[in-house]
Amino acid sequence: MASVASKLYADDVSLVMVLLDTNPLFWSSSSLPFSNFLSHVLSFLNSILLLNQFNQVVVIASGYNSCDYIYDSSLATNQGSDSGKMPALCSNLLQKLEEFVIRDEQLRKEVSGDGLPSSMLSGSLSMALCYIQKVFRSGPLHPQPRILCLQGSPDGPEQYVAIMNAIFSAQRSMVPIDSCYIGSNNSAFLQQASYITGGVYLKPQQLEGLFQYLSTVFATDLQSRSFLQLPKSVGVDFRASCFCHKKTIDMGYVCSVCLSIFCKHHKKCSTCGSVFGQAQSDASTASNRKRKTSET
Amino acid sequence: MSSGQVIRRAKYKTSVKDAGTPGVLKMNENKLVFRPNDPTSKTKLDVEFRQIKGHKNTKEGSNKPPWLNLTHDQGGSYIFEFESFSDLHVCREFVGNALAKCGEAAKAAPVEKVSSASKAACEQSAVPFSDEQLSTTEMELRMKLLRENSELQKLHKQFVIGGVLTESEFWATRKKLLDGDNDRKLKQRVGFKNSMILDTKPTTDGRTNKVTFNLTPEIKYQIFVLKPAVHQAFLNMVPSKMTEKDFWTKYFRAEYLHSTRNAVAAAAEAAEDEELAIFLKDDDILAREARRKIRRVDPTLDMEADQGDDYTHLPDHGIFRDGSKDISESQQELYRRTLSQDLNRQGAVVLEGRSVDADLEDPRTVAEALVRSRPETDATQEKLNRILRMTEIEDLRASHGHPFAPLCIKDPRDYFEAQQANALKSLDDTRAGTEQMKCSLTTEEAFSSLRKTISKIKTVGLNNPIVRPEVALMVFNGLTQNISSNKYQLGKNPQESILDRLPNATREELLHHWMSIQELLRHFWSSYPITTTYLNTKVSRLKDAMSQIYRQLEEIKESMQSDIRHQVSLLVRPMHQALDAAFQHYDADLHKKSARTGETPNGYV
């Protein structure tokens, strides 16, 4: 029995948690149609399952208002709902996805401000980590888990704390977070996530070749990855969001007790309640301001 | 001192023995000219400093007249006797500066391979030199630093000799460097010998009753310091009453009597010879001092009782000295000196340190010098200060750190690597940032369109083929390029750095420009805010030099081959940015100033 299990879970068996960005507002503005994106991703998932018969894929949709598991290859039955048109995986996944989108729409919330809203990346990251913890606790032998974020929506600074916590817990449990960012600009969250956990951050230049990127960079298991030279990001945007207004800031105040970050000086830390000294900070801000004006 | 020229009356001597020809010595930066007062005399001199190899001079305080000795590079030397030491010092410093300058120029010349330039440089740099009074040692230190550090030398050549910075400005930013060298030098002075001079043992030859004391200048000096009474007696008696030999003979006779412990004989001899008595008596000066010390003791302390506690007078007590017990005998108290007194005196003198650096050969001068070094007024306080200073042991103490932090500028290589990554990143960002799109749909519309696409893919199925071959090829090419380019950018190994892919000459040039820019910027920013016209001219000088480098950088960039031009431009960009910032600040400052002095726009340049 033990030998079967060890054969089952050799070091090249992977558990891939795929976080799918289903933010409708992003997809309606994206240059890559969602249908094309899905067909790339579905083919990619299929190829992962084909790489090793013990490979496992779990897909989590991170929507606009909520997130949910939409596919788990270990639970999948082989009968598809449609006959022969596409693999059972796809039809099951698409079915669940459609249901998820309808549910997501019902949990309506106000569209805030201008620019693209973000998707629930923090929630789906937490769900992925929970699933991985469950797998870890199932026994000493389990597939090698990793998380792949397929993200297009811009970062939501309000999720900063939750995402950073998720990143650190992933780092603690040695789960790499790979990220493939298909939106414009770069995602600082995902850059940091991949940097901290030792994953790969990729921003494809040719979106119509997405499948090629995915299969080249993200398909290999963790064991083989050590032999490959995967793209490295040149720089990482390490900017943080302040805890008070959830803005991304270059410079700010840090609580000396709990390391919370604020964009303005506060009398009291909102996280841990430490009371900050007053006089000194006033003087320093005054001098800072003075210096800035003199420089211009 | 008039700038760039020194004229002093002096005697020119061809050798030390020569009586010398009186005349006028005139020196400028390039040469020295000697014109004798007697126009018929043939001893005229006209020597360029380039031919002078070194210079020596007599010390003030020695019995030699103020001489300056210039060594000729053909082996001969010129000796000038001045009227005073102050004249000598002025000339010596001038010669030192002039020699240093010529030496530098001569050194710089082979690098430049233009011999005529060195002469020009020598003349050109003469002006900033003349306003400085530098000691020879400092000059030598600077030259040594320049010799050891070729980069520094290059900078020095470029800016100081090129007239952009003055000598003092150049070194002002390198104070630490100069200090560091000073620290390395051993600053310890020769202290006072810690062996008891009073232990000077007579040697006997065994056959006769003759006793021989060995006396060296060092011992004489020690005796003078340890025993003020002997010192005083020497000053009073030696040339007038007796010869030096007699004096020392008497002194050691007294010492010998002491060592034989023959107190009765000592007393008898003292009664006979009053001069001898001086040596046998307690040292008056010391005793006076001791009384003064006792007066300073806390009055609540009972000194008398303390004296009673002293049990060295009891039998079987006492201190071993010279093989016998030093038991105090009360009856001959006058002629007894206790070991503890001697020890205390020795200790005090050692702590006081050596105060006379003069030649020890002549006891008379030593004695006089000691008098000079012992000022009568406030002597005790001074002594206390001295002891305080001396007890702080030089080589165990941290160096006197100056309260300034040196401007930390890292190895340019690190900076280039970091900058390049940033530059590439920003390039990426700007490329990607253009395709930012605005969301124009409402949430409902967006959700419905998303649902529509999902149902569409459900009915249509996956794309076939998923990826077109040519797109896949592009992806592969892009990834390969990305990975291979990252390899050298991220390589921490300096061998893989971008700088090393450049031709050697270009690399050197770039690094040199980087050094020069750092130097210039350091001076530039440190001269703000401009408060004096001196700073004003300095800044405009610096600005000109910087714009020159700016153009040179442009030229380098243009002269590169196409395949590395981009890399070079990436390297040059931070330099240009730094210079641009300086120019901008300069212009803004100029603008502000002209606005402030609106009525008189011609007041400032």
Share the mean pLDDT of chain B. Answer: 68
Q: Determine the distance from the C-alpha atom of residue B490 to the mean position of all C-alpha atoms in its chain, rounded to a whole number.
A: 42
| CB < 8 Å to A91, chain B | 458
For the segment A256-266, what is each residue's pLDDT rounded down to a tens digit?
A: 888 888 888 88
Region class of A231: left (phi > 0), else alpha (psi between -120 and 50), else beta: beta
Whether residue B476 and residue A216 make contact (CB cut-off 8 A), yes or no, is yes
* Greater model confidence, B213 or A73: A73
Interface size, chain A vs chain B, as Cβ–Cβ contacts under 8 Å: 148
B584 CB neighbours in chain A (<8 A) are none
- For A233, name the nearest residue in chain B, comparing CA atoms only: B486
Residue B232 has pLDDT above 70, yes or no: yes
Q: Do B453 and A33 touch (CB under 8 A)?
A: yes
Q: Pick the range with the lowest mean pLDDT from A53-67, B112-126, B507-521.
A: B112-126
- Whether the pLDDT of residue B168 is over 50: the answer is yes
Radius of gyration of chain A (CA): 22
Residue B124: helix, strand or coil by DSSP?
Answer: helix
pTM (predicted TM-score)? 0.44
Query: CA-nearest residue of chain B to A29?
Result: B439
- From chain B, the residues in CB contact with A86 under 8 A are 461-462
What is the rounded CA–CA span in Å between residue B252 and residue B446?
A: 118
Least confident of A53-62, A199-208, B496-505, B539-548: B496-505
- Best mutation site among B457, B468, B525 for testing chain A: the one with the most A CBs within 10 Å? B457
Contact B429 A185 (CB under 8 A): yes
How many degrees, rounded to 5, is the angle at CA B347 between CA B341 and CA B353? 140
Query: Does B479 contact chain A (CB < 8 Å)?
Result: yes
Out of B445, B453, B463, whose CB is closest to A34?
Answer: B453
Q: Among partner residues A101, A105, A232, which is closest to B454 by beta-carbon distance?
A: A101
Does B558 have pLDDT greater than 50? yes
The two three-digit tokens of residue A217, written as one number:
């960079």
Per residue in B257-298, pLDDT tens?
Answer: 766 656 666 666 666 666 666 666 656 666 777 777 766 666
* Contact criterion met (CB < 8 Å) for B479 and A213: yes
Q: Write down the ipTM of this complex.
A: 0.77
When pLDDT is averaged across residues B380-400 and rounded to a whole number, the result is 60
List, in order of start, the domains of chain A with CATH numbers: 2-225 (3.40.50.410), 240-291 (no CATH)
Q: Which of B289-293, B389-393, B447-451 has the highest mean pLDDT?
A: B447-451
Mutation pick from A26, A153, A212 vs chain B, by most beta carbons of B within 10 Å, is A212
For residue B490, what is the nearest residue in chain A, using CA coordinates?
A234
Q: Give the least confident one: A77-86, A138-147, A226-235, B545-554.
A: A77-86
Any B CB within 8 A of A4 CB: no
A216 close contact with B: CB closer than 8 A:
yes
* Tens-digit pLDDT profile for residues B407-418: 554 445 554 444
Q: What strands, in cross-sheet order, belong to the sheet with B45-48? A: B45-48, B31-36, B21-28, B5-13, B77-82, B67-72, B52-57
Question: Closest partner residue to B467 among A34, A97, A212, by Cβ?
Answer: A212
Domain with CATH 2.30.29.30 in chain B: 5-133
Contacts of B463 in chain A (CB under 8 A): 36, 39-40
Band of residue B328 on the pLDDT scale cut at 50, 70, 90: very low
Whether residue A228 lies within 8 A of chain B, CB to CB, comes out as no
Least confident piece of the model among A116-125, B145-154, B253-262, B404-413: B404-413
Whether residue A39 and residue B424 make contact (CB cut-off 8 A), yes or no, is: no
Q: Given pLDDT bands bounded at 50, 70 and 90, which one contains residue B514? A: confident
pLDDT at A136 over 50: yes
Which chain B residues touch A206 with a CB distance below 8 Å?
471, 474-475, 478
Torsion sign, CA atoms A93, A96, A97, A98: positive
Whose tokens are 């210096």? That residue is A291
The share of chain B scoring above pLDDT 70, in percent, equals 53
**Helix extents (H) in chain A:** 2-8, 24-27, 34-51, 88-106, 121-136, 160-172, 188-197, 210-213, 222-225, 279-295
The reply to whether residue A231 touches residue B482, judged by beta carbons under 8 angstroms, is yes
- List the single residue in B442, B461, B472 with the smallest CB-CB distance to A85: B461
Neighbours of B475 (CB within 10 A): 23
Cα–Cα distance for residue pair B194/B199, rounded to 1 Å: 11
Contacts of residue B486, defined as CB under 8 A and 6 or more positions apart, other chains included, come to A231, A232, A234
Chain A residues with CB-CB distance to B475 below 8 A? 204, 206, 209, 212-213, 216
CB of B463 less than 8 A from some CB of A: yes
Model confidence at B52: pLDDT above 60: yes
Angle (nearest 5°) at CA B164 between B159 and B167 = 65
Taking the CA of residue A136 and the nearest CA in chain B, the distance in Å comes to 33
CA distance A10 to chain B (A): 29
CB contact under 8 A, A206 and B471: yes
Per CB-CB distance under 8 Å, the chain B contacts of A208 are 467-468, 471
Question: How would you classify residue A198: left for phi > 0, otherwise alpha for psi between -120 and 50, otherwise beta?
Answer: left
CA distance B70 to B57: 9
> Of B238 and B353, which is predicted with more confidence?
B238
Chain A residues in contact with B446 by the CB 8 A cut-off are 24-25, 27-28
Residues in A closer than 8 angstroms to B458, CB to CB, are 82, 91, 94-95, 98
**What CATH fold (topology level) applies to the domain B5-133?**
PH-domain like (2.30.29)
- Which range, of B50-64, B111-125, B563-577, averages the lowest pLDDT? B111-125
> Higher-confidence residue: B570 or B128?
B570
Q: Is the pLDDT of residue B325 over 50?
A: no
Better-scored residue on pLDDT, A46 or B429? A46
**Count helices and strands in chain B by DSSP H and E runs:** 23, 11
Burial bucket for residue B589 (CB in 10 Å: 0-12, 13-18, 19+) = middle
Phi, psi (5° rounding) for residue B213? Answer: -105, 135
Judging contacts by C-beta atoms under 8 Å, the chain B residues touching residue A99 are none
Quick one: pLDDT band at residue B550, thresholds 50, 70, 90? confident
Cα dihedral value A252, A253, A256, A259, nearest 10: -50
Show which of residues 23-42 on chain A sit within 8 Å of chain B, judged by CB atoms: 24-31, 33-36, 38-40, 42
**B469 — contact with chain A (CB < 8 Å)?**
no
Q: B358-389, pLDDT tens digit by residue?
A: 555 666 666 776 666 655 445 566 666 666 66
Q: How far apart are CA B200 and CA B213, in angstroms?
A: 7
Residue A108 CB neighbour total at 10 angstroms: 12
C-alpha–C-alpha distance, residues B542 and A281, integer Å = 38
* Highest averaged pLDDT of the listed ranges A149-153, B289-293, B305-309: A149-153
Q: Which of A21, A28, A96 to mutate: most B Cβ within 10 Å? A: A28
What phi and psi values does residue A284 have, to the nearest 5 degrees?
A: -70, -40
Rg over alpha carbons for chain B, rounded to the nearest Å, is 40
Interface probe with A: pick from B424, B458, B464, B487, most Cβ of A within 10 Å: B458
pLDDT value of position A170: 94
- Hey, which of A5-14, B136-145, B250-259, B464-473 has the most confident mean pLDDT? B464-473
CB contact under 8 A, A101 and B450: yes
Residue B251: the pLDDT is 78
